[in-house]
Amino acid sequence: MKMEHFIEQKKQQSKEPLCAYLYDLKKLKTHACELKNSLPEFCRLFYAVKANPDERFLSTLAPILDGFEVASGGEMEKAVRFKRPLLFGAPAKKDWELVKAMDSGVEALNVESFHDLNRIGYLSNQRGTPTPVLIRVNLNRDVPESHHMMSGVPTQFGVDEREVPSLLRKAKSMNHISIKGFHFHAMSNNLSAQAHLRFVESCLEKSKTWRDQFDLPLSMVDVGGGIGINYWNPEDPFDWVTLAAGLHRLKDQMDGLTLVLELGRFLTAACGSYVTEVLDVKKNHDQSFALLRGGSHHLRLPAAWKMNHPFRIHAIEEWPYPFERPEVYHEKVTITGELCTPNDVLVKSVYVPRLRAGDVVIFEYAGAYAWTISHHEFLSHPEPEFVYLHEA
């Protein structure tokens, strides 16, 4: 079913204002296959479940990708059913999550601190089995092009690069810790392929230096994800072709190591849309506003990032009322939600040719960090519908 067909059908069948997430599983499958097939043999592609833990997404991706990266016991529970390799990394792991990860046979656990290392070693010793770990490094320098920086600056993530040698010495002395590699997830929504390649090369060099210095049985270098979606200018997307070609050129530098990518947003964002109906159009202090059935409690990302989310308008010609239809015509409009807060803004002061009450706004790139990062319970409005347009 096409999106426009669903919208028209829904409007004909129900008098309730339209509000739904539309997911295209066929598009997700095609995109995942293209990404996976473009990578060199020494690369493994994992899905970062935090981007969207929808079970239908996981079942679509499981046969295609090399595994799942999870960041909580809850995500682990969702992913483990698909019997794919798991990586578990989180900055504040609970003991029960560590035990669950060990019981689930995860491929590796992230070590985020000395205390993390001590607890993993202690629990592993109790079980009598060694636990494979990746040391998450907070680098001295990051990728300044990224939207969020999670290393290279003071954050709660990873081990300060200056302290990595001390942590490695401690880890090597522990009988039930097996150092499998390093983890360098350092950014969010980076849009520069060349900067990403420089980052990957730096991670490889640091990993090999520590491997040789401490005689480590290293097998994996996990560079995380952080590849972005250009919400501000979708016509200028991240250049995946350049990144993939650059990764192929690293073959001679791998020295027997496996490179792991953990993609989330870049895998799923374009496979989802949030569609919602305009309930009212009004002017206030000479500015135009369109009020939606929906808002940031369903799609928090634009409010969180203070950006205009990419959107398009689907015109609905039928008007059920006997009085005038409010609209804006060839002017700028701010598109807001139904919440009782001025922060409930999805688009601020953007030109539209025409927008009327009863029309439907389609917010694109809503397949990642959308529904599950939003504050659903505020004001107790009904949830949106979830619709799967095409099976994989």
Q: What is the CATH number of the domain that holds 248?
A: 3.20.20.10
Q: Which of 19, 43, 203, 340 is catalytic?
A: 340
- Residue 220 φ then ψ, to 5°: -135, 135
Q: Report helix angle 240-248 to 193-214, nearest 10.
A: 30
| Strand, coil or helix: 2 | coil
**Total domain count for the chain?**
2
Is 233 a member of any domain? yes
Same-domain check for residues 216 and 345 = no
Q: Which helix (H) or strand (E) holds 37?
A: helix 25-38
Q: Report helix angle 193-214 to 164-172, nearest 10.
A: 50
Is 61 a member of any domain? no
- Computed over its alpha carbons, how large is the radius of gyration of the chain? 23
Same-domain check for residues 183 and 293 = no
* Contact present, 57 and 371 (Cβ < 8 Å): no
Tell me the pLDDT of the chain (392 aa) as tens digits. Answer: 688 888 888 788 888 899 999 999 999 999 999 999 999 999 999 999 999 999 999 999 999 999 999 999 999 999 999 999 999 998 899 999 999 999 999 999 999 999 999 999 999 999 999 999 999 999 876 655 545 544 556 677 789 999 999 999 999 999 999 999 999 987 889 999 999 999 999 999 999 999 999 999 999 999 999 999 999 999 999 999 999 999 999 999 999 999 999 999 999 999 999 999 999 999 999 999 999 999 999 999 999 999 999 999 999 999 999 999 999 999 999 999 999 999 999 999 999 999 999 999 999 999 999 999 999 999 999 999 999 988 75
Is 271 marked active-site? no
The residue segments making up the domain with residue 245 are 85-263
pTM given for the model:
0.94
Same-domain check for residues 351 and 331 = yes
